[in-house]
Chain A
């Protein structure tokens, strides 16, 4: 695969700093209970934790698909938790998101799905008439090439396999020129080999674009292999935050509870 095109090297220095984040879907029942963490280093940061512990909630609070109850989410000097309307929209452009179910618009072509990453930047009439700026189209083609889907540009997205769709999903996120990529279980619907390829791709994106990639993931082994840092969550709290090498069985027992499942 050829190198990802680097437009400019954004990212570095734009740290994500979360302080005292609390989220209650129902009053008095916090799902996230006082999360504080900061991420500034490029590369994969893996978030692990049992089902229902609030990993998705955390990620979705960051780009405000979910509204936090209290706390602050600072990115490059703005508090994302306080943004509304137009300001929120502009901020979201700098946060790429990759989904477990890919969330492509199935009846659009692959290239148009990638260009959807520019919808926050281009005026509506351009999106409508498909008159995306020339350099956007060139970059979309280059991105598709770099994720190995150069020949699929004009195919409809619903003709792709799961792994191919996720590559398009990643290309769409990168198309936003994000300062940070959020990925919610990007490999959970994929087979083991494809999962490795997708993690490889996410790691490469983080490296080459010099941005952090926050990944929710259930596969601890895969997380260890690609993450530069691991965050363990349990019952709405961060219980481990450090390098993969430092993650001991005792930590895993604390995160997931019990030890029987570790053989």
Chain B
């Protein structure tokens, strides 16, 4: 064995911790970028302080929330319409997603069909529901119909993908048996595919209903009806105390939806059920579900059918507009062609850069704010129930109010521009980022933590050397994932005046320059695709 090193001086530390120059360079560049971008977006201390003053005044005008009877009636109407929008969009979207998902399943369909179906799914997923809503508003006019159509598109994008994945994961044995028996294609689907995929269907639908409920508050901001419309009107009339009432109502509704959706997913488990074997008249009979499960499922379908029927009956939609919708939509896209590329260097390039800055700065800020909240939530760090509960409340509250609604609030506080956008992205992301961080912290192995505590390490050192190395991979993954989402969100914030591509979109639409609208849409599409590729590559690298 070699002799212990006797060298003193700087060499020894370098030997213990060889410097990672690429990493250091990367960190320095990133910090430099953040400072530069903050300058571009005009995040300055004075503006911030001024904003705080505005914010205080603003909050003063919000309190106490307005609960006058006429306002409550408006609130009830808006909430009801949102609920109807969500239910109809979920019902229709799920029905439409079924064939699309089927066509996208690579183990069932010929390649060209799956490529087409997958392209459609990607298109539905790429565009933010708000952008889709704004286009439908132009095509079919203001009101619930535009909102419903927009959410149907989002539902197809989400559910069809899940269905395709579920079909690709299912057992091929029954399918082969049916095929071997010479069944026609439709019988194969009905007898072989549907029974295998249907059990997971309820879980998907429950999740999507929850998500549509949130988004139905959103599409109204751009004219798609529901509570979002009520909220936007209240904003425009400076009825800030009513705004607060509406926001509280939305938070409560979202929380209720989340609880309901979690409950439904637990009762109707996503996974294939165990089933049971019963002694029938002619030997054992296997039932796919136990009697109780069958009862629950029947109840689910009954309630779903009733809710859908009620919504369709009572929602206020002018049917003529619906018949007209396909023609109008096609006409809208026709007007976008040919795209006005000249608009790019003039305005869109600038807006694009601003969008990217907004997304990145917002994510950085979100992480800074979410980390302490996550520490409050993690039960293996904060043992006080009060602190846990407060942390969880912050996560739910920030998450329940959509980025776009936050943007409305911050535009009122900081004035129009990217600063409001950055704040909106950051605050809304606290919930998501904090939740995942808290989970990662709680999953950290307790052994090493205990070892450091036993060595007498102060708690900050335990955090730094015990928790951080264990949480780091999850931390990077969550940050990247959130950045990806935030790029999409930042692209629409301009619709309420918070900077970025949305501003360019709004301007082009106000001027009825549809070829410029087309250009912005193409740019948003490209950015989203590139972002997804970048995050996928980075994720593979860091993990």
Interface residues of B in 424-466 (CB under 8 A from A): 445, 447-448, 450-458, 460-462, 464-466
Partner of B465 from the list A119, A131, A141 (CB cut-off 8 Å) is A119
- If A90-B456, A92-B454, A112-B17 touch, whether A105 touches B465 (CB-CB below 8 Å) is yes
Instruction: With CB as the reference atom, state the residue of chain A lying closest to B472.
Output: A107
B4–A119 touching, CB < 8 Å: no
Instruction: With CB as the reference atom, state the residue of chain B lying closest to A89.
Output: B456
A103–B451 touching, CB < 8 Å: yes
Residues in B whose Cβ lies below 8 Å from that of A39: none
Instruction: With CB as the reference atom, state the residue of chain A lying closest to B466.
Output: A105
* B295 close to chain A: CB less than 8 A: no
Partner of A116 from the list B5, B445, B465 (CB cut-off 8 Å) is B465
CB distance from A157 to the nearest CB of B (A): 9
B17–A103 touching, CB < 8 Å: no
- If A138-B5, A150-B2 touch, whether A124 touches B461 (CB-CB below 8 Å) is yes
* B3 close to chain A: CB less than 8 A: yes
Instruction: With CB as the reference atom, state the residue of chain B lying closest to A154.
Output: B18
Interface residues of B in 386-408 (CB under 8 A from A): none
Partner of A141 from the list B16, B447, B453, B466 (CB cut-off 8 Å) is B16
Partner of B16 from the list A97, A140, A146 (CB cut-off 8 Å) is A140
* B273 close to chain A: CB less than 8 A: no
The count of chain B contact residues (Cβ–Cβ below 8 Å) is 35
Partner of B1 from the list A1, A89, A107 (CB cut-off 8 Å) is A1
Instruction: With CB as the reference atom, state the residue of chain B lying closest to A178.
Output: B455
A176–B455 touching, CB < 8 Å: yes
Instruction: Pick from B12, B18, B472 the residue with the most CB of A within 10 Å.
Output: B12
A153–B465 touching, CB < 8 Å: no
B456–A93 touching, CB < 8 Å: yes
Residues in A whose Cβ lies below 8 Å from that of B1: 1-2, 145, 148, 150
CB distance from B163 to the nearest CB of A (A): 38
Residues in A whose Cβ lies below 8 Å from that of B469: 105-108
CB distance from A215 to the nearest CB of B (A): 16
A106–B448 touching, CB < 8 Å: yes
Residues in A whose Cβ lies below 8 Å from that of B107: none
* B342 close to chain A: CB less than 8 A: no
Instruction: With CB as the reference atom, state the residue of chain B lying closest to A120.
Output: B456
Instruction: With CB as the reference atom, state the residue of chain B lying closest to A176.
Output: B455
Partner of B458 from the list A89, A96, A102, A109 (CB cut-off 8 Å) is A89
Instruction: Pick from A1, A95, A134, A169 the residue with the most CB of B within 10 Å.
Output: A134
A104–B448 touching, CB < 8 Å: yes
B452–A119 touching, CB < 8 Å: yes
A120–B17 touching, CB < 8 Å: no
* B8 close to chain A: CB less than 8 A: yes
Instruction: Pick from B3, B453, B456 the residue with the most CB of A within 10 Å.
Output: B456
Q: Mark A85-102, 1 if CB is under 8 A from B, else 0.
A: 000011111011101011
* B237 close to chain A: CB less than 8 A: no
* A130 close to chain B: CB less than 8 A: yes
A120–B13 touching, CB < 8 Å: no
Partner of A172 from the list B6, B451, B460, B472 (CB cut-off 8 Å) is B451
A145–B2 touching, CB < 8 Å: yes
C-alpha spacing A148/B6, complex, angstroms: 17
C-alpha spacing A1/B454, complex, angstroms: 28
A65–B453 touching, CB < 8 Å: yes
Residues in B whose Cβ lies below 8 Å from that of A141: 4-5, 12, 15-16
* B66 close to chain A: CB less than 8 A: no
* A117 close to chain B: CB less than 8 A: yes
B455–A97 touching, CB < 8 Å: yes
CB distance from B13 to the nearest CB of A (A): 6
Residues in A whose Cβ lies below 8 Å from that of B458: 89, 119-120, 124
C-alpha spacing A153/B2, complex, angstroms: 14
* A142 close to chain B: CB less than 8 A: yes
A124–B12 touching, CB < 8 Å: no
A2–B4 touching, CB < 8 Å: yes
* B371 close to chain A: CB less than 8 A: no
A111–B16 touching, CB < 8 Å: yes
Given A101-B447, A134-B13, 8 new contacts (CB under 8 A): A2-B3, A90-B456, A99-B447, A105-B452, A105-B466, A116-B452, A127-B464, A176-B456
Measured CB to CB, the residues of A under 8 A from B are: 1-2, 5, 63, 65, 89-93, 95-97, 99, 101-109, 111-112, 115-117, 119-120, 124, 127-128, 130-132, 134, 137-138, 140-142, 145-146, 148, 150, 153-154, 169, 172-173, 176
8 pairs from A and B in contact (CB 8 Å cutoff): A89-B457, A92-B455, A99-B450, A128-B464, A134-B8, A134-B12, A138-B8, A150-B1
